Amino acid sequence: MTKAIHMAGFVPQFDLCDRVRKAREVAGLTQDELGEKAGVGRATVARIERGKGTPRRASLIAIAFATGVDFNWLETGETPAGEPDGGSAVRHQGLEPRTH
Q: Is the pLDDT of residue 90 over 60?
A: no
Q: Supply the pLDDT for residue 56.
A: 94
CA distance linking residue 59 with residue 64, whole number of Å: 9
Tell me which of 70 and 85 has the higher pLDDT.
Answer: 70
Q: Supply the pLDDT for residue 74.
A: 94
Q: Is the pLDDT of residue 81 over 50?
A: yes
Q: What percent of the chain has pLDDT over 90?
A: 60
> In this predicted model, what pLDDT tens digit does every residue of 36-78 receive, in sequence order?
999 999 999 999 999 998 899 999 999 999 999 999 999 999 8
Buried b (16+ CB within 10 A) or exposed e, 86-98: eeeeeeeeeeeee
**pLDDT band, very low/low/confident/very high, at 99 (cuts 50, 70, 90):** low
